[in-house]
Amino acid sequence: DFTWRIDNVINSGGIKHSPESIEKKIRHLLNVPFVISALPHKLLGQELVIVTEGRPSDSSSLLSAIGKELSRHELPAAHIILQRFPKTESGKIKRVEIMKIISGA
């Protein structure tokens, strides 16, 4: 069963990642709303993914650009595009909802 931790920590292969700290490192490279999230992975438990909002873009270019800013353990395995992010009434992105959408839950 795949669940999101309350503290928003992603555990991938025993390495604990803070999505917010990864996002901070690459924020200057993206001009669209994005979040670092996770998908279930049989061996790793979870794998990092980057989810962007809006129109389709070149995933390989995006992953290459952010790969220059992140360690290999922080690098997302995939790029997922959602037309619109679910948000709270105050405009905050609903991370748990995004995780459910991308994992098909």
Q: What is the mean pLDDT of the chain?
A: 90
Q: What mean pLDDT is predicted for residues 52-76?
A: 91
- Tell me the C-alpha to C-alpha distance, in Å, between residue 21 and each of 27, 41, 49, 85, 101: 10, 22, 14, 20, 22
Q: For residue 105, what pLDDT is reported?
A: 59
- Write down all domains in the chain, each with its CATH number in brackets: 10-103 (3.30.300.30)
Looking at per-residue confidence, does 22 or 3 come out higher? 22
pTM, two decimals, is: 0.89
Q: What mean pLDDT is predicted for residues 88-92?
A: 95
**pLDDT tens-digit profile of 14-63?**
999 999 999 999 999 999 999 999 999 999 999 999 999 998 888 889 99
Which residues fall within 8 angstroms of residue 62, CB to CB, at 6 or more apart?
Answer: 30, 50, 52, 79
Q: For residue 1, what pLDDT is reported?
A: 46
- % of the chain beyond a pLDDT of 90: 79
pLDDT category, 7, cuts 50, 70, 90? low
